[in-house]
Amino acid sequence: MFTLTKIDSIPDNYQKYHIRNNLLISNRIRSHLVQRFPDCHWKVTNNDIYINVSLKSSPWEKNSQIVHAIADYAYYYADSYNYDHTDINSDYCNMNFFGVYKNNIIAKDYTQLGTTSKTQQMELEFMRQYNEAFANE
């Protein structure tokens, strides 16, 4: 699970595909997240200028390190379809879409599903690898 949450492997999907259709982008984001994290339930919505990504439930506690790592991955993956050519010195705003906010990925009404021995083992292994990776920091 730890390797699945690494953000350094996320490509620049906007540069790769040049997609500007929010429906297509949101479908790609949801499909990827469902495939990558099958134990999680995702809600990805869109309109003309917004895309919202929400982790609705998983087998792990809302404030656990594993849930926050999954949410971080979801944020950076969704953001990889965006670009921002906004000029902060003027009123000119040029973005592919709005709405993916890091602090809103974990839903306010997040539900912890029942854990299994498999998901408990996944969390233990995640924490072991996480602690090894960040032990020197």
pLDDT, the chain, mean = 92
pTM: 0.92
Look at residue 40 and tell me whether its pLDDT is greater than 90: yes
Give percent above pLDDT 90 in the chain: 78
Mean pLDDT across the stretch 8-30?
Answer: 94
Both tokens assigned to 46 = 């869109």
Q: Rounded to an integer, what distance in angstroms lies between the CA atom of residue 22 and that of residue 49?
A: 7
100 vs 91: CA distance, rounded Å: 21
Handedness of CA 54, 57, 61, 65 (dihedral sign): negative
